[in-house]
Structure 1
Amino acid sequence: MAYVIGVDLGTSAVKVLLVDQHGEVRGEWTESYPLYQPHSGYSEQRPDDWVEKTIIALRRVWETAGVSPESIVGLSFSGQMHGLVLLDGDGNVVRNAILWNDTRTTEECRDIEEKVGRDRLLSIAKNEALEGFTLPKLLWVKRHEPELYERARVFLLPKDYVRFRLTGHMAMDVSDAAGTLLFDIETKTWSEAIAQAVGVDLSLCPPLVEATACVGTLRPEVAEQTGLPASVKVFAGGADNACGAIGAGILAEGRMLSSIGTSGVVLAYEQSGEKDFAGKVHYFNHAEPSAYYIMGVTLAAGYSFDWWKRTFAEDVPFAEIVQRAAASPVGANGLLFTPYLVGERTPYADADIRGSFIGVDSRQTKWDFARAVMEGITFSLNESVEIIKASGKTIDSVVSIGGGAKSAEWLQIQADIFGLPVEKLKNEQGPGLGAAMIAACGVGWFESLKQCADVFKQVEAVVEPRPDAAAKYKELFAIYRQVYPHTKELAKRLKAFRP
Structure 2
Amino acid sequence: MGTRRILGIDTGGTMAKAALFDLDGLEVASSRCPNAVSFPAPGHTEVDPEGFWQAACRAARGALEASGTDPRDVIAVSTTGHGNGLHAVDAEARPVAPGIISTDSRAGSVGAEWEAAGYGEAARAAIMQRFWPGQTLPLLGWFERHRPEALERAAGIFGSKDYIRARLTGDISTDITEAAVSGLADLSTGGYASALFERLGLARMLPKLPPIRPSLEVAAAVSAEGAAATGLREGTPVVRGLTDVVACAVASGVGAVDTMSVIAGTFSINQTLHETPRRSSAPVLQIPYPIGGLYLATECSATSAGNLEWLCRTVLGAEAARASAGGRSIYDLCGDWVGTALERPGGVLFLPFLFGGPDGAPAGLVGLKASHDIADVVRAVFEGIAFAHRMDVSRLKTGGDAAAPRVARLAGGASRSPIWPQVFADVLGLDVEVPEGGELGAKGTAMAAAVALGHYPSLEAAADGMVRIARRYRPDPARAAIYDREYTRFEAVARALARVDFG
TM-score by length of 1: 0.92
CA offsets 1:453-499 (integer angstroms, 9 cap, x no match): 11211212211111100011111112212233222232xx323xxxx
- Look up the match of 1:159: 161
Name the structure 2 match of 1:338.
351
Q: For residues 231 and 414 of structure 2, what CA distance do their matches in structure 1 show?
A: 36
Residue of structure 2 equivalent to 1:307: 310
Which residues of 2 match residues 431-442 of structure 1 at below 5 A?
A: 431-442=441-452
Correspondences of 1:226-245 after superposition (within 5 Å): 226-245=230-249
Query: Are 2:30 and 1:25 aligned?
Result: no
- CA change 1:325–1:20 in 2 (3 A) is same
| SS at structure 1 position matched to 2:341 | coil
Taking the TM superposition and a 5 Å limit, the aligned residue runs for 1:466-477 are: 466-477=476-487
- How far apart in 1 are the matches of 2:263 and 2:346? 26
Aligned to 2:287: 284
2:76 is matched with 74
1:387 Cα deviation (Å)? 2.5
Query: 1:89 and 1:408, CA in 2 relative to 1: closer, same or farther beyond 3 A?
Result: closer
The match for 1:366 is: 374
The answer to whether the aligner puts 1:323 opposite 2:336 as a matched pair is yes
- The question of 1:146 aligning with 2:159 is answered no
Find the aligned partners of 1:177 and 1:134 in 2 and give their Cα distance. Answer: 9
On the 8 A contact 2:92/2:170 being kept in 1, the answer is no
Stretches of structure 2 that go unaligned for 5 or more consecutive residues are 321-329
Alpha-carbon deviation of 1:358?
2.4
| 1:185 aligned partner | 187
Q: Deviations over 1:406-425 (max 9, x none)?
A: 22211110110111111123
The equivalent of 1:213 in structure 2 is 217
Contact 2:251 2:440 survives alignment (8 Å): yes
> Is 1:58 aligned to residue 60 of structure 2?
yes
What is the rounded CA distance, in whole Å, between the counterparts of 1:70 and 1:408 in structure 2?
38
2:416 to 369, 387, 406: 406
**Code of the aligned partner of 1:324:** W
Q: Is the 8 A contact 2:46 2:98 kept in 1?
A: yes
1:23 alignment partner, SS class: coil
Instruction: After superposing the two structures, state which structure 1 stretch, 15-24 or 287-296, moved more.
Output: 287-296
* Partner SS, residue 18 of structure 1: strand
SS of residue in 1 equivalent to 2:310: helix
Maintained 8 Å contact 1:296/1:381: no
Distance 1:466 1:72, change over 3 A: same
Q: Which residue is equivalent to 2:469?
A: 459
Over the matched positions of the two proteins, sequence identity in percent amounts to: 25
Structure 1, unpaired ranges of 5+: none
1:222 to 226, 245, 249: 226
* Alpha-carbon spacing, 1:392–1:169, altered in 2? closer, same or farther (3 Å): same
Give the distance between the partners of 2:387 and 2:246, measured in 1 at CA: 23
User: Which deviates more, 110-119 or 445-454?
Assistant: 110-119
The 2-side partners of 1:49 and 1:270 are apart by 38
1:169-204, Cα deviation, whole Å (9 max, x unpaired): 101111111122222123211112211112112112
Instruction: Name the SS of the counterpart of 1:208 in structure 2.
Output: coil
Are residues 107 and 393 of structure 1, via their aligned partners in 2, closer, same or farther at CA, if it must alter by over 3 Å? closer
Distance 1:48 1:159 in 2: 14
Residue 357 of structure 1, aligned match among 355, 358, 365: 365
Deviation track 1:6-32 (CA, whole Å, cap 9, x = no partner) reads 111111221111111221112222222
Q: Deviation digits for residues 192-243 of structure 1, max 9, x if unmatched?
A: 2211112112112111123212211111332344343333211111211110
**1:95 Cα shift?**
1.8
Distance in 1 (CA, whole Å) between partners of 2:112 and 2:94 is: 31
**8 Å contact 1:83–1:98 — kept in the other structure?**
yes
* Corresponding residue for residue 326 of structure 2: none
The Cα offsets for residues 231-281 of structure 1, whole Å up to 9 and x where unpaired, read as: 3211111211110001101122211112111112111222323x3142255
Secondary structure, aligned partner of 1:413: helix
Partners in 2 of 1:110 and 1:190 — Cα distance? 22
* Counterpart for residue 85 of structure 1: 87
Paired position in structure 1 for 2:327: none
* Rounded Cα–Cα distance in structure 1 between residues aligned with 2:481 and 2:368: 23
Q: Secondary structure at the match of 1:215?
A: strand
**CA offsets, 1:358-388, max 9 Å, x none?**
2233322222121111111101111222222
List, as ranges, runs of 4+ consecutive aligned residues in structure 1 with deviation greater than 6 Å: none
**What is the one-letter code of the residue matched to 2:379?**
R
Matched residue type, 1:271: E
Instruction: Verify the 8 A CA contact 1:124 1:186 in the aligned structure 2.
Output: yes
Separation of aligned partners in 2, 1:266 and 1:330:
29
Moved more, 120-129 or 55-64: 55-64
Distance in structure 2 (CA, Å) of the matches to 1:78 and 1:330: 41
Match of 2:123 in 1: 121
- 2:324 maps to none
The residue that corresponds to 2:250 in the other structure is 246
The alpha carbon displacement at 1:153 in A equals 4.3
Does the aligned pair in 1 maintain the 2:216–2:239 contact within 8 Å?
Answer: yes
Other structure's SS at 2:150 match: helix
CA distance in 2, matches of 1:216, 1:378: 41
Counterpart-to-counterpart distance in 2, 1:95 and 1:330: 53
Give 2:170's match in structure 1, choosing from 146, 168, 171: 168
Distance 1:146 1:353 in 2: 34
Instruction: Report what 2:10 is aligned to.
Output: 8
Equivalent residue for 1:415, pick from 425, 428, 452 = 425
Letter in 1 for 2:81: G
CA distance in 1, matches of 2:280, 2:351: 24
Q: Is the 8 A contact 1:175 1:238 kept in 2?
A: yes
CA contact (8 A) 1:332 1:369 kept: no
Aligned-residue CA RMSD in angstroms? 2.0
Contact kept, 8 Å, 2:18 with 2:59, in 1: the verdict is: yes
Of 297, 300, 319 in structure 2, the residue corresponding to residue 297 of structure 1 is 300
Counterpart Cα distance in 2 of 1:406 and 1:256:
18
Contact 1:250/1:268 (CA < 8 Å) preserved in 2?
A: no
